[in-house]
Amino acid sequence: MAKTLFGALIVDMRNKLGGHVLSKNRGGSFIRRKVSPAQPRTSYQRVVRALVTQFSRAWSGVLGDAERSAWTAFAAGHPTTDQFGQTVQLTGEQMYVRLNTVIVFHGGTAIDDPPPDLSVAAITDFTPSATETGPTFLLDTVLPATILADERYVVWATAGMSVGRNSLDSFYRYVGTFATLTTGDLDIETAYLAKFGSINAGTKVGVGIRIVNVATGAASPLVNKIITVGA
C-alpha cells in the first residue's frame, strides 16, 4: 500500500499503489510501473532477509516471556521515524528483529535483552573524492578522528553513472563496514573496486555513510553525497 502524507492537499506519496510505484527525486514526485525484480536479489538483500527470518523465529522460539515484555517496553520508549519524518511506534518484535539484524550483519553478537539506549555517533558531513584509481572519502574535522570500540562506518555507493542521470537512488549498493580510520581518511578503494570494478573519469558516483553500533544495533542517519570522478 502507498504511504501518503496529507496536508491541505496530498503533499507526498510513497511506495506501491496497485501496479505502480510512487516516489520522488530532485525533479519532484513521480509514478512508474512496478516491475518485480528477478530473484535472487543482491547478496546484501539475501543476507538481510535470512537474518530477519532468523530473528523473527527466535522471537517466539528462543526468547522467554520476560524478554519479550522487555522488548515491548523498550520499543514503546524508543519510537522511530519514517521517510516523511513522522513518528512510528514499532512493536517489541519489530524492534528485536531490527536491532539484531543490524548487529549481526555488521559483525556483532545477537542480544536477547534490549540495549540500555540507542545512542550512536552521527555523520554530519564528509568530503568525498574519487579518481580513476579509486575512491577515498575524506571525513570533515567535525567528525571524531576515531569512533568508539563498538561503532563502525557503513558505506553505500553506486558504480560510475552517466553525469546526465538525475537520480541515483536505486543504484546504491552496500560496499562495506569499516571499523577504523587511517590518518583521518576513510579509504574504501579496495572494497569499492571489488564491488563495482574500475571507474572512469567524468562519471558520477553516489556515496552514503552512516555509523552503526554493533553492540546495540543503533544506526545514525545515512548521509549521501554525489561527486564526479576526476582524471
Residues 26 and 78 grouped into a single domain? no
The answer as to whether 119 is a domain residue is no
Name which of 156, 128, 152, 157 is nearest 140 in CA terms: 128
Comparing 1 with 77, the larger pLDDT belongs to: 77
CATH number at residue 181: 2.60.40.10
Residues 139 and 185 grouped into a single domain? yes
Instruction: Summarize the confidence of residues 62-85 as an average pLDDT.
Output: 91
The answer as to whether 95 is a domain residue is yes
Comparing 105 with 167, the larger pLDDT belongs to: 105
Residues 146 and 210 grouped into a single domain? yes
The answer as to whether 163 is a domain residue is yes
pLDDT band at 141 (very low <50, low <70, confident <90, very high): very low
Name which of 126, 89, 92 is nearest 220 in CA terms: 126
Kindly report, residue by residue over 114-126, the tens digit of the pLDDT: 999 999 988 878 8
- pLDDT of residue 143 exceeding 80, the answer is no
Question: Which pLDDT score is estimated for 104?
Answer: 98
Residues 142 and 189 grouped into a single domain? yes
Close Cβ partners of 53 (under 8 Å, ≥ 6 residues apart): none
Rounded-to-integer distance, Cα 209 and Cα 228, Å:
17
Q: Domain limits at 68?
A: 43-105
Sheet hosting strand 185-187, strand order edge to edge:
126-131, 134-139, 185-187
- pLDDT of residue 37 exceeding 80, the answer is no
Kindly report, residue by residue over 193-204, the tens digit of the pLDDT: 999 988 899 999
Q: Using CA of residue 36, residue 176, residue 155, residue 92, what is the dihedral sign?
A: positive
The answer as to whether 210 is a domain residue is yes
Residues 217 and 135 grouped into a single domain? yes
